[in-house]
Amino acid sequence: MSAVNVAMSQDWIDVGATEEVPQRGARCVKKGDLTIAIFRTQDDQFFALEDKCPHKHGPLSQGIVHDGCVTCPLHNWVISLSSGQAQGADEGETRTFTVEVRDGRLLLDLEELR
């Protein structure tokens, strides 16, 4: 995992190429104090969540991606990649962001990062 430089363009921020995010893995992008983990599923869907578990702020980017979720590396909470909601009996929510793929590039909505 490594941070990428952020290049701005209109209302979207280009945060890198899709190929830079490993399948079933994540890559982090920093914007001010915010660290956003961009996840890639086995079937090449991309999701962006704050890199902070709702339990005790574990780094979700270092978790295991499976079944549309990520399992936190600290205490194994399972977080939905689409909603950011903790699954099962656990309660909590991680902030999610819109991520778009255009021409092999990953774009985040600038408005959501303000």
Instruction: Decide: is 56 part of the binding site for ligand FES (CB under 6 A).
Output: yes
d(CA 113, CA 45): 21
Binding mask 34-53 for ligand FES (x = CB under 6 A): -------------------x
Report the nearest approach of ligand FES to the CB of residue 17 (Å): 29
For position 58 contacting ligand FES by CB under 6 A, the verdict is: yes
DSSP for 48-102, please give it: EEES--TTT---GGGSEEETTEEE-TTT--EEETTT-BBPTT---B--EE-EEEE
To ligand FES, the closest distance from the beta carbon of 60 in angstroms equals 7
Sequence-distant (6+) residues with CB within 8 A of 23 are 40, 41, 42, 44
Residue with Cβ nearer ligand FES (91 or 100):
91
Binding site for ligand FES (CB under 6 A): 53, 55-56, 58, 72, 74-77
